[in-house]
Amino acid sequence: MSLVAIYLCLAGAVIAETVATIALAASESLTKLVPSVISVIGFVAAFWLLSFPLRVMPAGLVYALWSGLGIVLITAVAWFWSKQTLDTPALIGLAFIAIGVVVMNAFSKSMIQ
């Protein structure tokens, strides 16, 4: 599998997890059928897509990228869609997560086995 395909799978996993998490919030503890189904399908898709980068990248790095990018994207969607406010410490924390993802991708020699 090419490097581009690996990162596309990882990006797809992040997007699927984001959709699933937003749907989970909308499902009201799995009491609404459509958001609940979207959430389950999204999480299954996220884990399936995540399995491809795990074949060639260390698990800790894959999980760090997946969860870090997921946190930033879910927070951005919640801010935009649900008008959830972010204070200065939250924005600083998100910046640290984003910087960490960039540092791992740009400088880590252990990204691809």
Average pLDDT over residues 72-101: 91
pLDDT tens sequence across 5-14: 999 999 999 9
pLDDT tens sequence across 17-73: 999 999 999 999 999 999 999 999 999 999 999 999 999 988 888 998 899 999 999
Distance CA 6, CA 83 (A): 33
Is the model's pLDDT at 102 over the cut of 90? no
Whether residue 113 lies inside any domain: the answer is no
- Determine contact, residues 60/111, Cβ cutoff 8 Å: no
Residue owning tokens 């990006």: 11
Whether residue 112 lies inside any domain: the answer is no
As for how many domains the chain has, the answer is 1
Better pLDDT: 83 or 13: 13
Is the model's pLDDT at 112 over the cut of 70? no
Is the model's pLDDT at 113 over the cut of 70? no
pLDDT category of residue 15 using cuts at 50, 70 and 90: very high
Q: For residue 56, which phi and psi values (nearest 5 degrees)?
A: -130, -5
Q: Which residues contact 7 (CB under 8 A, 6 or more apart)?
A: 53
Whether residue 91 lies inside any domain: the answer is yes
Whether residue 43 lies inside any domain: the answer is yes
Residue 113 burial class via C-beta count within 10 angstroms: exposed 0-12, middle 13-18, buried 19 and up: exposed
Q: Which residues contact 37 (CB under 8 A, 6 or more apart)?
A: none
pLDDT at site 107: 83
DSSP, res 69:
H
pLDDT at site 18: 96
Tell me the residue range of the domain where 18 lies: 3-107
Task: Please tell me the pTM assigned to this model.
Answer: 0.86
CA of 95: how far to CAs of 75, 79, 88, 99, in Å?
12, 15, 10, 6
